[in-house]
Amino acid sequence: MSLFEKITTPNGKVIEQPLGLFINNEWVKTDSTIDTIDPSTGKKITAVYAASEKDIDAAVAAAVEAFENESWTSLTGSERGDYIFKIAEIIKRDAELLASIESYDNGKPYEAEALAGDLVEAYEVFKYYAGFADKIHGQFIGAEILGKNKMCFTDPTPLGAVASIIPWNFPFMMMAWKIAPALATGNTVVLKTSEITPLSALHLGKIVLEAGLPKGVVNIVSGYGKDAGHHLASHPDISKVAFTGSTATGQKIMEAAARSNLKNVTLECGGKSPYIVFADSDLDKALEWGFSGIFYNKGEVCTSTSRFFIEEPIYDEFVEKFVKFTKENSKVSHPFEKGCTIGPLVSSLQYEKVKKYVEIGKKEGAKLLSGKFHEGDGYFCDPFIFADCTDDMTICKEEIFGPVVSITKFKDAAEVIRRANNTTYGLAAALFTNNITRAHKVANKLQAGMVFINSNGDSDIHVPFGGVKMSGIGRELGTYALELYTTHKAIHVNLALDD
């Protein structure tokens, strides 16, 4: 098998697809491969080389060498920013090609989500952190605080060689979220792609070469989480792991980090987010935001508001209208088809998982109002809407990561706050009401890293993203991410040597 393969995507784009590992600015073959599958057909697209522990060691060694020889850290912030901005510009130029391979590999709608969403955000993230690369500085603490003849200054220094482990639902965008702030702060990186959707992130290697980054600054490996991912998280020469994925895997990464060198971790994990609609809401807007909040990206989103809480006076009306709205606004089709809103689930494994939860929901007494699985090729299904649910039902407690929503009713704010918080997760929450006082009071009491008032699923590169409880540790995006890739060294100066 060669290191590259010409792939023609369903929309006719001919792409030179990298297949190898990218280590020290070179493409590398390994002893094993991973097939990547088109979720629209269930057929193989290609195979990529899979990293062994030996390959992970080589990638880490390259990142460590690049950090220690100061080919990256000795650059000024402005010089690093220039490189990062070059990456942004190449992404912008090649957005259609990158979005095409993203949709082909993942199954998300090409036009509405991959191109207009993920690739735009990836460009914006690299551009944003390129601008921050020369604005990272410490503090001066003088004698007026420390006392006569004393001064101190803080020096924000990069952590070293860091690991980024990205998920299968937003591979290219999540790559940008992690790589851009790491580079801006002077770190070097080993990126592990998802074994399910590795193709788009591998293109970063080509972009790095074109942008001219020094050897070893960015290294990319494909591989299975239990092998390559675990070894990377456990590696004693890695100073930090930034991970997005399931809570169960996040726990294993945190354990591996602790058992190795107590490395810094950022974890963005699962969610079971509530969507609360009060009776005084603008119902049409609540329907619209509720639909996008659970069915965007096929429901394969950590922030999906999969638990609907509807106030009793409008419960029946909301449920009836939501079913109608969903049927009218769902176009389940091939992701490259014009107007597609819901593509296939990412894999046969995810397809079977959603099937299992739908059967559990019916068995436990939830009322299925809409949704079916499509027979034939690919992993397609319609959105599933369950009503008359209770909080103890499995579909109301466990993250499904698919287009499945459970709807329950509530009586008042105190009740819905208690029930919304009755979960091990705490990533996001959304609420609809025209009473601004109530909106702020409820938002304040919801246990979530992000709360959306009269909207849903908002994300912006300037705003911190992350959760509480078992939804994760730390924040990505905004200036908050810069803090997580630096350590603040305090340098004390004694000016009283002659006293």
Catalytic site positions: 268
Euclidean distance between CA atoms 365 and 393, whole angstroms: 8
Bridge partners (DSSP) listed for residue 274: 307
Euclidean distance between CA atoms 19 and 34, whole angstroms: 10
Bridge partners (DSSP) listed for residue 226: none
With 0-12 CB in 10 A as exposed, 13-18 as middle and 19+ as buried, what is 491?
A: exposed
Angle among Cα 91, 96, 102 to the nearest 5 degrees reads 85
Bridge partners (DSSP) listed for residue 409: 310
Closest CA to 411 of 307, 310, 283, 282: 310
Closest CA to 287 of 263, 262, 317, 312: 317
State CA 295 to chain mean position distance: 16
Encoded tokens for 370: 């809409």
Encoded tokens for 381: 């299904």
Bridge partners (DSSP) listed for residue 453: 431
Contact assessment for residue 308 and residue 317, using Cβ atoms and an 8 Å cutoff: no
Measured between its terminal Cα atoms, the distance across the chain in Å is 73
Euclidean distance between CA atoms 226 and 204, whole angstroms: 23
Number of Cβ within 10 Å of residue 394's Cβ equals: 15
Euclidean distance between CA atoms 457 and 428, whole angstroms: 8
Closest CA to 128 of 79, 85, 173: 85
